[in-house]
Amino acid sequence: MAYLHAVREFAASLLARVPTVCGLCQDTACGGKLCPYCYRAVMHSMTSGAPRCAVCRLELDPYGGCADCLQRTPAFDRVIAAFDYAAPGDLLIHRLKMQLQFTSAGMLAGLLADALRSSQPVVPEQMVLVPVPASRAALRRRGFNPAAEVAYRLARQLKRPCRPGLVLRTREGVKQAQLGRSARMHSVRSLYACPERLDGVHIAVVDDVLTTGSTLHGMAQACKAAGAATVWGLVLARTPYPVGGPEALRAAGQRGQLHSL
């Protein structure tokens, strides 16, 4: 086993140096990653030092308190997000979900892995990755589950188990992008369930975008009802409040302009 592990590590180090095309600007990069310029551009807002909610990672300035956590106490413990759902990072999400470039999931998982390794506080050592389950309609439309593709690749990079069957959908539900902010919170009630006990297990729910936190809240409720010790959210992108604050975001959600789950 040690020999095979060493071979895999050596192969990965070689692949990381292979010239490839940047997944954002199409310039030269290495190992299927973003070029250094695009990497900094995508990750900048999350690492700029602006004040954020300690639980859901919403950027607080200039509104002060976290409107999402004040409106509903989250069932999840903490969120780690790689970048904000804003230009230019939103284009990476669009290409994965709308243009069906599922091969970019590895690069996106790498961005999330970098954010996780540098996070404070550190996530529990023995955590199990669980992707948000997609509806049957979404699977028919895309042919794959973006959250699962990211979770599988993130699990390999972090050397943690990925268990998609630990949380299941109890019904199809309504497409979140079609709902306003308050409606999202109601739509996920009892939407998820755990088919087995999770006593003492540390769960990391993997998703592409977090907007209101409703999906993660519903997943965390199901996991903790099954005995999970903690539930973290590992998301590629965190949707910020747009210009105009919470009211503008609520109006955008009602018009169906938000693409996140």
Of the listed ranges 7-11, 33-37, 97-101, the least confidently predicted one is 7-11
The arithmetic mean of pLDDT across residues 67-96, rounded, is 93
Query: Which of the given ranges, 29-33, 64-68, 207-211, 255-259, has the highest pLDDT on average?
Result: 207-211
Domains of the chain: 51-254 (3.40.50)
Decide: pTM greater than 0.85.
Answer: no
Identity of the highest mean pLDDT range in 18-32, 112-126, 217-231: 217-231
Residue 5 pLDDT exceeds 50 = no
For the segment 210-225, what is each residue's pLDDT rounded down to a tens digit? Answer: 998 999 999 999 999 9
Distance CA 161, CA 234 (A): 14
Give the pLDDT of residue 246.
Answer: 47
Q: Which of 132-141, 162-171, 200-209, 247-256 has the lowest mean pLDDT?
A: 247-256
Contact 259, 236 (CB under 8 A): no
**pLDDT at residue 253 greater than cutoff 50:** no
